[in-house]
């Protein structure tokens, strides 16, 4: 499909990568990984034709349909169209084919009898092609994709200009998914998505008919989607097939990549050692006989031979790691942060409604929930950065806070050098601290500390922003998407540092690997409320799916009432300071304690069923009616696909009219089903709360 041969790119005087050869075949799923600044985005630009290589060739089929999602896609989303209209425009090839069908229908009505056979043949061919490409289900498919990406049914008719940047990214992604291009190219597609949406996207990409090439630093996303991993490191690219041929492939694609990379690096090191021995031998000969006339020809021959040697470089992955270190923080009181009855409103919208939360010293808490649920609002409320409609927020004794958010890199002075920008965060401390050593620990050793901030990649700017915030010892870290734009190596070390960090962490991230590595408690935020789970992310998933792995203590506090107990506070959601449950409701406990009463659980199930009985019936009724209409559409499509039917022009017109009316009814029923299903889900959520 697309092939690169000997491609090299130089930025200024710096060779970015050289002699890259790569092939993306139809149906292949390729993950492009590498350290920050390695040139991944530049390589994508070269592949899709946004820039030409300095050396080498890029071959693309002339009729290739290519979909491209850049990191800065927000400005490219039209502000005048509705969400649905903008998404449908992505399938322009189907819209053009549908317009051709309408034109042929009109011509059939007015054309002379002698032209009917030719027109009917053309209509049959176009109609069959349209059906094969899914044209009759296009609008329903658009609604399905929008729903999967987190849009409510009513959002389809909103102007895109009303959407925030993150939701515009989702609209652009929906447009590409609906288009089903021959090659879909995505640059960090998960940056603006929540966990549920990422899981949906993984399944959707796995079913795409075309090829996929994407850049990501999300290990779980790569593991779920990619069958090939291309690593850009040390100025060159290495390709690894990760779905077959290795034991690690059975455990996951990323594990297979790591296994194969280590084997390759071992071979490279051995080859380099052998090459070094040969070079050293030649250099000794040259040095020994350089000034002997009888050996002059041999010396010159060996000098030329050394110049022609292509030196083997082994990627030094340790050099790609940003080693985050935390100074020892002052000791805080037992309760680090506490909110009581917290209510936050933005205009008529209530984001948080009466939330209680107590976080104790040393806990690592992950805030999870869909985008817009109030995670960032809750985090910002802890430092007084949002207006509070009701309730109170208090930090504990001797608490010092540092905030790292997803926009940390945007406030850097692009004209300053890295070391000058770093010094602005140190104040009077810069006289006693070795700032170059600190920057080296954050991945800016030696001359890299003197580079201009404006020359850094997005990930490098994020690292610098983290360095500025973490330069001083604090005992409460509030992290809002700290891993955005960080490469895999930097994420790994950030995980290790946070795991060893002696202070308290409140973390928002969509990186499941980071959550698993760091968090020992989870707060689910949504519908204005919050629910505490006193256990790891894996234990939470196991409990959600009914697995036996949820053996940790857990509590589900309703009505937005959440208390975070210390690890010594016991199971069942007890408040470690007061020795009581976080609210008056039965608590969930694996040991059959306060939440183990089967009769109470049965009563709650019965109450839930009675309260939602009418809505459930309505959903079933609409589903049955929708099934009948879809069967009618399928039968009409089957008739329209029969070439024999086009011998009767009147019959064709009748079938086309019936098909259009059935499609309209199906769309109306689908919208009614979405509204009813949403009402049912909200009702169940309110009961469960």
59 exposed, middle or buried (CB, 10 Å; 0-12, 13-18, 19+)?
A: exposed
- Give how far Cα 212 sits from Cα of 29, 32, 186, 254, Å: 5, 11, 8, 17
pTM over 0.85: no
Q: Is the pLDDT of residue 463 over 70?
A: yes
List the beta bridge partners of residue 417: 452
Q: Is the pLDDT of residue 588 over 90?
A: no
Give the other-Cβ count within 10 Å of 585's Cβ.
19
Task: Name the H helices within 501-597.
Answer: 512-518, 537-544
- pLDDT at position 590 is 28
Q: Is the pLDDT of residue 594 over 70?
A: no
Mean pLDDT of 49-76: 88
Question: Percent of the chain, pLDDT > 70?
Answer: 81
129-143, 166-180, 518-532 — which is least confidently predicted?
A: 129-143
Mean pLDDT of 514-522: 91
- pLDDT at position 556 is 37
580 vs 688: CA distance, rounded Å: 21
Length of the chain: 689
pLDDT category of residue 212 using cuts at 50, 70 and 90: very high
Higher per-residue confidence, 198 vs 541: 198
54-63, 277-286, 618-627 — which is least confidently predicted?
A: 618-627
Give the other-Cβ count within 10 Å of 454's Cβ.
11
232-262 burial code (b ≥16 CB/10 A, e <16): bbbbebbebbbeeebebbeebbbbbbebbbe
Helix/strand/coil for 521: strand
- pLDDT at position 433 is 57
Decide: 422 and 494 in contact? Cβ < 8 Å. no
Residues sharing a CB contact under 8 Å with residue 67, sequence separation 6 or more, in sequence order: 90, 176, 179, 181, 183, 184, 185
Helix/strand/coil for 5: strand
Q: Is the pLDDT of residue 601 over 80?
A: no
- pLDDT at position 641 is 63
Of 531, 514, 513, the C-alpha closest to 522 is 531
Q: Is the pLDDT of residue 546 over 70?
A: no
Give the other-Cβ count within 10 Å of 460's Cβ.
26
Mean pLDDT of 652-677: 80
Describe the crossing of helices 116-132 and 649-688 by its angle, rounded to 10 degrees: 20
Q: How far apart are the first and last CA of the chain?
A: 52
- pLDDT at position 688 is 63
Mean pLDDT of 236-260: 74
68-72, 253-257, 604-608 — which is least confidently predicted?
A: 604-608
103 vs 122: CA distance, rounded Å: 11
- pLDDT at position 604 is 57
- pLDDT at position 505 is 93
388 vs 354: CA distance, rounded Å: 11
578 vs 149: CA distance, rounded Å: 42
Question: Percent of the chain, pLDDT > 90?
Answer: 23
327 vs 331: CA distance, rounded Å: 12
Q: Is the pLDDT of residue 545 over 70?
A: no
What string of DSSP letters covers 118-152?
HHHHHHHHHHHHHHHTTGGGHHHHHHHHHHHTT--
Higher per-residue confidence, 11 vs 496: 11
Q: What is the mean pLDDT of the chain?
A: 79
Higher per-residue confidence, 407 vs 61: 61
Mean pLDDT of 269-281: 85
As a CATH number, domain 599-688 is 1.10.287.380
Decide: 406 and 466 in contact? Cβ < 8 Å. no
Strands (DSSP E) found in 361-492: 364-368, 390-395, 401-404, 476-480
Residues sharing a CB contact under 8 Å with residue 27, sequence separation 6 or more, in sequence order: 209, 210, 211
Q: Is the pLDDT of residue 432 over 90?
A: no
List the beta bridge partners of residue 339: 357, 393
Could you give the angle at the alpha carbon of 284 between the alpha carbons of 278 and 285, nearest 5°? 90
Own/partner contacts of 377-385, CB < 8 Å, gap of 24 or more, are: 377/344, 377/351, 377/352, 378/339, 378/342, 378/352, 378/523, 378/525, 378/530, 379/478, 379/480, 379/506, 379/508, 381/339, 381/342, 381/344, 381/352, 382/337, 382/339, 382/478, 382/506, 383/478
- pLDDT at position 599 is 45
Mean pLDDT of 659-668: 81
- pLDDT at position 31 is 95
611-660 residue pLDDT tens: 777 777 787 788 778 778 877 877 777 676 666 666 676 777 787 778 77
- Give how far Cα 53 sits from Cα of 16, 49, 57, 74, 213, Å: 11, 9, 7, 27, 18
Pairing of strands 476-480, 504-508: parallel
469-513 residue pLDDT tens: 777 778 899 999 888 778 887 787 678 778 777 889 999 999 998
List the beta bridge partners of residue 30: 213, 228
Which of 118-122, 459-463, 487-491, 502-506 ranks highest by mean pLDDT? 502-506
What string of DSSP letters covers 248-291?
HHHH-HHHHHHHHHHHHHHHHHHHHHHHHHHHHHHHHHHHHHTT
Q: Is the pLDDT of residue 575 over 50?
A: no
608 vs 510: CA distance, rounded Å: 31
- pLDDT at position 519 is 92
Mean pLDDT of 374-381: 93
- Give how far Cα 389 sits from Cα of 145, 348, 350, 435, 494, Å: 36, 12, 9, 42, 35
43-52, 618-627, 662-671 — which is least confidently predicted?
A: 618-627
- pLDDT at position 571 is 33
5 vs 55: CA distance, rounded Å: 9
Q: Is the pLDDT of residue 309 over 90?
A: no
Q: Is the pLDDT of residue 299 over 50?
A: yes
87-109 residue pLDDT tens: 888 777 777 777 877 888 788 77
pLDDT category of residue 56 using cuts at 50, 70 and 90: very high
- pLDDT at position 547 is 46
HEC secondary structure over 339-368: EEEEEEEECCEEEEEEEEEEEECCCEEEEE
Q: Is the pLDDT of residue 582 over 90?
A: no
- Give how far Cα 571 sits from Cα of 237, 533, 561, 577, 594, Å: 50, 10, 17, 14, 10
Decide: 234 and 316 in contact? Cβ < 8 Å. yes
């Amino acid at each position: 499909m697309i092939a690169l041969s000997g491609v090299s790119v130089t930025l200024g005087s710096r060779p970015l990568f050289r002699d890259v050869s790569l092939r993306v075949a139809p149906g292949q799923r390729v993950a492009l990984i590498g350290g920050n600044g390695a040139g991944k985005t530049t390589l994508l630009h070269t592949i899709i034709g946004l820039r030409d290589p300095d050396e080498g060739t890029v071959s693309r089929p002339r009729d290739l349909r290519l979909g491209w999602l850049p990191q800065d896609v927000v400005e490219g989303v039209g502000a005048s169209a509705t969400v649905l209209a903008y998404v449908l425009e992505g399938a322009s090839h189907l819209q053009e084919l549908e317009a051709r069908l309408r034109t042929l229908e009109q011509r059939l009505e007015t054309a002379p009898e002698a032209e009917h056979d030719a027109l009917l043949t053309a209509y049959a061919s176009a109609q069959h092609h349209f059906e094969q490409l899914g044209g009759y289900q296009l609008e329903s498919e658009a609604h399905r994709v929008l729903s999967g990406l987190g849009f409510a049914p009513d959002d389809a008719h909103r102007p895109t200009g009303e959407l925030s940047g993150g939701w515009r990214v989702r609209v652009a992604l929906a447009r590409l998914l609906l288009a089903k291009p021959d090659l879909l190219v995505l640059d960090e597609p998960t940056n603006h998505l929540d966990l549920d949406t990422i899981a949906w996207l993984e399944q959707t990409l796995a079913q795409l008919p075309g090829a996929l090439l994407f850049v990501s630093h999300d290990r779980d996303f790569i593991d779920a989607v990619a069958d090939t991993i291309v690593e850009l490191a040390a100025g060159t690219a290495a390709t690894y097939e990760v779905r077959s041929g290795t034991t690690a492939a059975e455990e996951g694609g990323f594990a297979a990549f790591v296994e194969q990379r280590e084997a390759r690096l071992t071979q490279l090191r051995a080859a380099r050692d052998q090459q070094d021995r040969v070079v050293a031998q030649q250099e000794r000969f040259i040095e020994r006989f350089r000034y002997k006339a009888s050996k002059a020809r041999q010396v010159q021959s060996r000098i030329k031979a050394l110049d022609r040697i292509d030196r083997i470089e082994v990627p030094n992955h340790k050099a790609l790691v940003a080693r985050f270190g935390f100074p020892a923080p002052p000791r805080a009181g037992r309760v680090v942060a506490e909110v009581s009855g917290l209510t936050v409103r933005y205009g008529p919208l209530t984001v948080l409604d009466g939330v209680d939360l107590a976080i104790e010293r040393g806990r690592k808490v992950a805030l999870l929930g869909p985008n817009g649920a109030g995670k960032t609002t809750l985090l910002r409320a802890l430092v007084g950065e949002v207006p509070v409609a009701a309730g109170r927020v208090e930090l504990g004794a001797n608490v010092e806070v540092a905030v790292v958010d997803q926009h940390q890199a945007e406030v850097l002075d692009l004209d300053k050098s890295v070391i000058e920008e770093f010094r602005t965060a140190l104040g009077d401390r810069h006289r006693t601290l070795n700032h170059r050593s600190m920057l080296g620990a954050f991945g800016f050793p030696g001359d890299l500390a003197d580079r201009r901030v404006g020359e850094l990649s997005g990930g490098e700017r994020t690292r610098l922003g983290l360095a500025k915030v973490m330069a001083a010892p604090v005992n409460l870290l509030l992290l809002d998407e700290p891993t955005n734009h960080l490469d895999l190596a930097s994420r790994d070390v950030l995980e290790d540092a946070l795991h060893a960090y002696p202070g308290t962490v409140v973390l928002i991230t969509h990186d499941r690997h980071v959550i698993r590595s760091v968090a020992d408690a989870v707060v689910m935020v949504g519908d204005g409320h919050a629910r505490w789970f006193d256990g790891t992310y894996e234990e939470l998933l196991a409990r959600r799916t009914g697995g036996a792995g949820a053996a940790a203590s857990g509590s589900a506090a309703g009505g937005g009432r959440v208390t975070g107990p210390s690890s010594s506070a016991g199971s069942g959601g007890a408040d470690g300071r007061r020795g009581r449950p976080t609210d008056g409701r039965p608590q969930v406990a694996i040991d059959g304690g306060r939440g183990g009463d089967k009769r109470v659980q049965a009563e709650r199930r019965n109450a839930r069923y009675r309260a939602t009985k009418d809505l459930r019936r309505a959903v079933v009724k609409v589903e049955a009616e929708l099934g009948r209409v879809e069967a009618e559409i399928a039968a009409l499509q089957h008739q329209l696909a029969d070439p024999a039917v086009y011998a009767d022009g009147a019959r064709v017109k009748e079938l086309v009219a019936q098909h259009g009316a059935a499609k309209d009814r199906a769309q109306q029923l689908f919208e009614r089903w979405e509204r009813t299903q949403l009402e049912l889900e909200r009702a169940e959520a309110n009961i469960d709360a």
